Structure 1
Amino acid sequence: MASPIEYLNVVRYFRDARPWTTETTAKPTWNQVEAAIRQMDNYCFPIVQLGCRDPDDDNDSFNVVGGDGRLSLFHFMAEWLYDDSSGNRSEVRLWESDQGYFCCECNVISDLDLALRITKKYFETGSYDELDAVI
C-alpha cells in the first residue's frame, strides 16, 4: 500500500545566523521520515512536517517539533495534539532557535519509539482519526 504523504519538510536553522532553510522531499519513504525525526536536535533541526497536499498550500500538515528526546506532535490547525492527560499542564519551550514552540509539558513525548509509531500511523493513513489508538 502506497503512503498518501506527498511531502516531507525538514526545517534547518544555523548557529552562525544564516537564514533558515527548508528541504522538501516529494513522496518520501518511511526511512526518510524516520531519519529526519531521529536527527532532530531542538536547534538546527527542530521541525519535521508531513503532508498529503502541495506543501505551499497545506494547512493540514502533521508536525513534529523539538528534539534531543523531547518532541511534540500536532496538527497544524490544532485539531489534533498529542496529549498525556495525566501530565503536567505547565508551559515548556521546544525548538530553541528562532521563535521556538511553546506547549504544555503534557504535550511532550520523551519516548522516541512512541513518537515514531504515531508518526508512522499518520504516514500510512494521512489521517488523524487513528492516531489516538496508537497511544
Structure 2
Amino acid sequence: MRELGSLEREAMEVVWGAEEPVVVHDVVAVLNARRAQPLAYTTVMTVMNNLVAKEWLARHRVGRAFAYRAVEDKDSRTARAMAEALEESADRRAALVGFVGRLGAADAAALRAALEGGE
C-alpha cells in the first residue's frame, strides 16, 4: 500500500472514526469544521477516490453517491506498516532492537505480553 499525503491522512482519520461507511459530504463537513479555509467538495471527492485507488478505502454506491469504508482498521494498518518497514530493513535484528529500544515501559510490557501469548 502506498503512503498518504496529509489531506489523505486527515480523510482516513475521519473514516476510521466513523461508525458506518461515510459519504464525501460527511467527510467534507468534518474536515471543514477543523479549518479556517474550507476545502471544496470536489477536492475531498478526489482525495477519497485516490484513497480507493491506493487501496486504503473501498466504496459502494448509495443512491447517486458513494459510501466509503476503510479496507483495514487503523490498528491493522499500523501493524502492516510496521511489518512492511521491517521487511525493507537490511538487518532485521538491528531494526527490531532499535524499535524495542525506543519503546516506553508500558509499550515494552505490552509487547512482552504479546510475545508470551497474552494480550
TM score, norm. by length of structure 1: 0.24
Q: Which has the higher strand share?
A: 1
Between structures 1 and 2, the one with greater helix share: 2
Kindly name which structure, 1 or 2, has the bigger radius of gyration based on alpha carbons: 2
